[in-house]
Amino acid sequence: MTTKTRLLLKLAGLTGALLLSFGVAAPQEARAELRIDITRGVVEPLPIAITSFAGSGGRDAQTGADIAKVISADLERSGLFRPLDPRGFLQTPEQLRTGDPRYQDWKALGAQALVAGNTTTGPDGRMKVDFRLWDIASAQYMQGLSYTAPPQEWRRIAHIVADAIYKRLTGEDGYFDTRIVYVAESGPANTRKKQLAIMDQDGENHQFLTDGQSLVLTPRFSPTTQEITYMSYFNKKPRVYLFNIDTGRQEVLGDFPGMTFAPRFSPDGNRVIMSMAQNGNTDIYTLDLRTRRQTQLTDSPGIDTAPSYSPDGQRIVFESDRGGSQQLYIMGADGSGVKRLSFGEGRYGTPVWSPRGDLIAFTRQRGSSFAVGVVRPDGSGERILSEGYHVEGPTWAPNGRVLMFFKDLPSGDGRGRNAKLYSIDITGANERRVITPLDASDPAWSPLIP
Amino acid sequence: MRMKFLALAAVALLAACETAPKDANTGAASNSSSIRPGSQEDLAVNVGDRVFFGLDRYDLSPEARATLDRQAKWLQTYGSVTVTIEGHADERGTREYNLALGERRANSVKNYLAAKGVPANRVKVVSYGKEKPAVVGSTEAAWSQNRRGVTVVD
């Protein structure tokens, strides 16, 4: 259905004249701007009124209502916003189209921010969506933007609007116009079927990418292209592959004599870093996607795996048992200057560098429990975010504020597994189940869709 | 979106290990007369097709060595048979580490067989990490059966 999508978004601020005609005449005195401070630990969600987007025709009106629902759901799931029940709203979307909001009415409802918008279909069949955001407390207009896209892309438009609101009110980039690739699991634990699957960040537009004939593991998004790198047991030969989401084309990466696994892209998208195991020894290699040159970065006799680049591409965090047990290490991008990062009790693995560079997420195994946590790249400030029988495999939202991971629990009957995806804020707040049609593991968050 | 589903030729990928006898140690099969010599069933029932490892270990126990001594003899008897050693881990580890650990275990088996005179070109290795438990369950009893190297006739 939705043709895959370098969708041509026309992003334009509403014209100055338009803005002025909606402009709020009164408040010129300096007031503290409405802003959610998300750097603190626990945040009281901001009450926000999101009206149905007005539309002239039947279809436009329906799309407008659907868009508002998607925006509300995105903002609510972030844990930073509390969308108010629209049944209490005293102004219609149409009234908000042509005039200022009645601030007192919205204030009485408890709203601190208000979102309204329009959906229209142009003569060329393209859909135009615009929205406006008001600060109710200080009675002022904050932002207005307009987007044009094919009508079937209404969900993306809604996510983009939600990202704009999130950014305007938190000061940080949003992460709603993103997708998740993961491994969909089905069947009993000893004959588990695993398929690559992809979905929007909110679980919509779900698609299976592989048919489950070959075992697949650890998919990761390219930071720059519509490509995924992952591991497949195709032909009983476990190797790292590249999968093109647009074309479905896939190819094995590199020509390695042993099993290759644990792949990730470099931040510029030009290389894939991975492990190769041969003769009982696992080391880290890179493959340059342009020259196809393979470079070996580590040569310890131990297990060196799960490499992840810093966002500037200068450093690599990985796990190794060279010191006796599985721990995190950091080295330069050329493999030099290896330094141990984790010193806590237990085993540490699956490190992933935050897109912001400030934190490294990991899985910790201690005693009979697993945990997902974060630590600063200098080894300080280690914090556990979620702990349980088995939690594993964190992945970062592109803004570095939210993690997704999986929990893998024995099913009640003892016969199988119960693997599910969860998201959590880096403060440790707002842990949420991410709904998938089948069991799910190994999530990987995409960058913001270009 | 028009994503092509993978139309990879389905080579009987999982078949080999899925049809392998459950556990040689149980000595279940009674009518060994119907077993074809040199077959996987022969190996599993009359020799022992698998060895077990300690937690996060890949060294071979005396029991494992005894099993592999029998395997080496059996492989010398059936000189045209080639095998793949599957290395496995229990579920109590992270995915990538367990893949590497399974590869280490498979190579421990391969190296031992090689030391006992089985040519390296008759023995391949593959690691499945924690992906293919032999015994389903979240108890030490299950995990100890899953930390294994299984010799599978190609």
CATH number at residue A143: 3.40.50.10070
Which domains does chain B show, CATH number per domain? 63-82+97-130 (3.30.1330.60)
Among the candidates A118, A137, A170, a domain finishes at A170
B21 vs A65, which has greater pLDDT? A65
Q: Which of A215, A306, A349 sits opposite B131 (nearest CB)?
A: A215
Residue A1 covered by a domain:
no
For residues B94 and A349, give the distance between their C-alpha atoms in angstroms, rounded to a whole number. 7
pLDDT tens, residue by residue, B9-68: 333 333 333 333 344 444 444 455 689 999 999 999 999 999 999 999 999 999 999 999
Rounded to a whole number of angstroms, the distance between the first and last alpha carbons of chain A is 19
Q: What is the pLDDT of residues A161-180, one digit of tens each?
A: 999 999 999 999 999 999 99
Provide the pLDDT for residue A414.
64
What pLDDT is stored for residue A58 in this prediction? 79
Give the pLDDT band of residue A33 (cuts 50, 70, 90): low
* A291 in a structural domain: yes
Residue A35 belongs to some domain of the structure: no
> Are B13 and A213 within 8 A, CB to CB?
yes
Q: Do A303 and B100 touch (CB under 8 A)?
A: yes
- Single residue among A121, A153, A170 that ends a domain in this structure: A170
Give the closest of A189, A305, A321 to B136, CB-based: A189
Flag if A275 and B58 touch (Cβ within 8 Å): no
The two tokens of residue B26 are 């149980």
Residues of A in contact with B14 (CB under 8 A): 191, 215
Claim to verify: residue A266 and residue A412 sit in the same structural domain: yes
Interchain contact, A305 vs B14, CB within 8 Å: no
For chain A, say whether B14 makes contact (Cβ under 8 Å): yes
Q: Assess whether A216 and A298 both reside in one domain.
A: yes
Sheet of strand A294-296: strand arrangement: A259-265, A271-278, A281-288, A294-296
Confirm whether A38 is domain-assigned. no
On average, the pLDDT of chain A sits at 89
| pLDDT surpassing 90 at residue A25 | no
Residues A160 and A193 in one domain: no
The CA-atom distances, in angstroms, between B109 and each of A302, B48, B53, B115, B124 are 18, 13, 11, 10, 10
Specify whether A228 is located in the same domain as A350.
yes
Q: In what order do the strands lie in the sheet with A304-309?
A: A304-309, A315-320, A327-332, A339-340
A253 and A318 in one domain?
A: yes
Examine the domain organization and report whether A132 and A234 are in the same domain: no
Nearest to A388 by CA among A356, A361, A422, A354: A422
Same structural domain for residues A238 and A309? yes
pLDDT at site A412: 72
Residue A449's pLDDT is 84
- CB of A145 within 8 A of CB of A136? no
Residue A136 DSSP symbol: T
Smallest CA–CA distance, residue A32 to chain B, in Å, is 45
| Matching residue, tokens 């945040």 | A43
Q: What is the pLDDT of residues A211-258, one digit of tens each?
A: 999 999 999 999 988 999 999 999 999 999 999 999 999 999 999 999
- Residue A134, token pair as written in the block: 């008001």
Pairing of strands A54-55, B50-52: unpaired
* Single-letter amino acid code for the residue at B106: A
Statement: residue B74 has pLDDT above 70: yes
Domain count, chain A: 2
B8 touches chain A (CB under 8 A): yes
In a mutational test of the A interface, the residue from B6, B60, B104, B148 whose CB has the highest number of chain A CBs within 10 Å is B6
> Which element (helix H / strand E) includes A114?
strand A113-121
Q: Can you give the pLDDT at residue B20?
A: 38
A252 in Cβ contact with A243 (< 8 Å): no
How far is it, in rounded angstroms, from Cα A70 to Cα A202?
A: 9
Most confident of A26-35, A350-359, B19-28, B30-39: A350-359
B4 pLDDT more than 70: no
- pLDDT band, very low/low/confident/very high, at A37 (cuts 50, 70, 90): low
Q: Where residue A39 falls among pLDDT bands split at 50, 70, 90?
A: low
Q: Is residue A4 part of a domain?
A: no
Mean pLDDT of A147-160: 94
Is there a single domain that holds both residue A332 and residue A200? yes
Q: Nearest CB to A1: which of B1, B91, B131?
A: B1
The distance of A134 to chain B (nearest Cα, Å) reads 35
Kindly determine whether residue A236 and residue B107, on different chains, have CB atoms separated by under 8 Å: no
Q: Using a CB-CB distance cutoff of 8 angstroms, which residues of chain A are in contact with residue B6? A: 209-211, 213-214, 248, 250
Alpha helices, H only, chain B: 15-18, 40-42, 62-77, 95-115, 140-146
The CATH number given to whatever domain includes residue A421 is 2.120.10.30
Say if B141 is an interface residue toward chain A (CB within 8 Å).
no
Q: Nearest by CB to A261, which of B10, B99, B134?
A: B99
Region A193-209: mean pLDDT is: 97
Yes or no, beta carbons of B136 and A192 under 8 Å apart: no
Check pLDDT > 70 for residue A293.
Answer: yes
Q: Which of A140, A170, A200 is the last residue of a domain?
A: A170
Q: Are residues A258 and A305 in the same domain?
A: yes
Do A403 and A265 fall within a single domain? yes
pLDDT at A344: 82
A88 and A186 in a single domain? The answer is no
In a shared domain, residues A331 and A226: yes
Check A305 against B97: CB less than 8 A apart.
yes
Assess B92–A contact: CB distance below 8 Å, yes or no: yes
B94–A3 C-beta distance less than 8 A = no
Summary count for chain A: helices (H), strands (E): 5, 31
Q: Measured in Å, how far apart are chain B's first and last C-alpha atoms?
A: 40
Which two tokens mark A377?
């790249």
Q: Which domain holds residue A235?
A: 179-445
Q: Do A136 and A106 meet the contact criterion of CB atoms below 8 Å apart? A: yes
Q: Which residue of B has its CA nearest to A153?
A: B1
Quick one: pLDDT at residue A94? Answer: 86
3-class secondary structure, A424: strand
User: Is residue A86 in a domain?
Assistant: yes
User: How many residue pairs bridge chain A and chain B with CB atoms within 8 Å of each other?
Assistant: 148
In a domain, residue A146? The reply is yes
A354 is a domain residue: yes
Residue with tokens 């959590």: A424
What residues of B are in contact with residue A234 (Cβ under 8 Å)?
8, 13
